């Protein structure tokens, strides 16, 4: 009898796993189907261009403030941490500036900032499109003969893909400024040693590598939350749940692509 019950439990677990796999591939297929509609030929180019500039301001320019603030603090924190870990007198002081620079260039200002933007921009996109979905505004666009996926999502995707590399550059710049201000104030490094470390052994490809990552991350930050918002069903509660799912899944995909791109472009 116990063996019979155990077999039933195993069968049920197998069916649950199969259901999860089917659901995963269902979402993958529907996501790419949505992208096919998103990149369909726009009906009115002028309307799309106007919407594009609106999204650049809404999603990109309005995110500059948080990027600057976070980068300034992180630059200062990393400078202090590198100074603490390199307190051995055998280490040259300019390693502190070099470590801060390379960390900002390679990982923080691209990947970490993309994760932050996934929370800010991604939830904004999901809630905006999801609210239009549950209030049947998207259905109204379809009735009028407008490709709702292209009209609502394409300007957001293009705007975020264009703006995320710009935000990356700003993040690196203000992160270095944060270290330059914080280091001498707390007495862990002089201005000259910090600036010398920033210039020492600079590899331009690091910036190119992270700019390429920013383009991929920008596409994920815009398209994945748009997918969750576009196919949400229910009311305001479901829109909130969809925003949470969008941010979580976008963060996971950013980390996955960070691993893949690092493997392909740095080795």
What pLDDT was estimated at residue 175?
92
Which range, 127-131, 136-140, 147-151, is most confident? 127-131
For 206-219, the pLDDT digits (tens) are 889 999 999 999 99
Domain residue ranges of the chain, discontinuous segments joined by +: 1-38, 44-266
The closest of 83, 92, 113, 116 to 182, measured between CA atoms, is 83
pTM (two decimals): 0.88
Sole residue written with tokens 């493997």 = 263
- For the chain, the average pLDDT equals 85
For 141-154, the pLDDT digits (tens) are 788 877 888 888 89
The answer on pLDDT for 3 being more than 60 is no
At residue 2 the predicted structure's pLDDT band, cuts being 50, 70 and 90, is very low
And the tokens for 159?
Answer: 């705007």
Q: For 5, how many CA atoms within 13 A lie in the half-sphere containing its CB?
A: 2
And the tokens for 73?
Answer: 């603090």
For 50-72, the pLDDT digits (tens) are 888 888 888 888 889 999 999 99
What pLDDT was estimated at residue 149?
85
Rounded to a whole number, what is the distance in angstroms from the first to the last CA of the chain?
56
Q: Which residue has the higher pLDDT, 184 or 90?
A: 184
CB atoms within 10 A of CB 165: 18
């Amino acid at each position: 009898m116990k063996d019979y019950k155990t077999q039933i439990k195993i069968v049920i677990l197998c069916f649950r796993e199969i259901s999860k796999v089917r659901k995963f591939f269902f979402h993958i297929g529907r996501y790419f189907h949505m992208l096919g509609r998103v990149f369909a030929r726009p009906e009115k180019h002028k309307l799309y261009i106007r919407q594009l500039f609106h999204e650049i301001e809404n999603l990109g320019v309005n995110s500059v403030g948080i990027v600057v603030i976070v980068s300034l603090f992180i630059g200062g924190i990393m400078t202090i941490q590198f100074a603490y870990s390199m307190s051995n007198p055998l280490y040259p002081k300019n390693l502190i500036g070099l470590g801060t620079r390379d960390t900002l260039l390679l990982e923080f200002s691209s990947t970490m900032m993309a994760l932050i933007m996934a929370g800010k921009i991604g939830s904004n996109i999901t809630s905006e499109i999801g609210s239009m979905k549950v209030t049947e505004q998207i259905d109204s666009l379809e009735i009028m003969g407008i490709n709702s996926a292209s009209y609502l999502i394409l300007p957001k995707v293009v705007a975020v893909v264009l703006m995320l590399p710009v935000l990356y550059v700003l993040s690196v710049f203000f992160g270095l400024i944060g270290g330059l201000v914080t280091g001498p104030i707390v007495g862990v490094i002089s201005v000259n040693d910090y600036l010398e470390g920033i210039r020492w052994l600079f590899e331009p490809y690091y910036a190119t590598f992270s700019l390429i990552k920013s383009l991929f991350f920008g596409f994920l930050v815009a398209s994945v939350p748009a997918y969750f918002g576009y196919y949400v069903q229910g009311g305001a509660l479901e829109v909130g749940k969809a925003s949470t799912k969008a941010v979580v899944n976008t963060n996971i995909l950013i980390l996955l692509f960070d691993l893949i791109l690092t493997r392909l472009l740095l080795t």
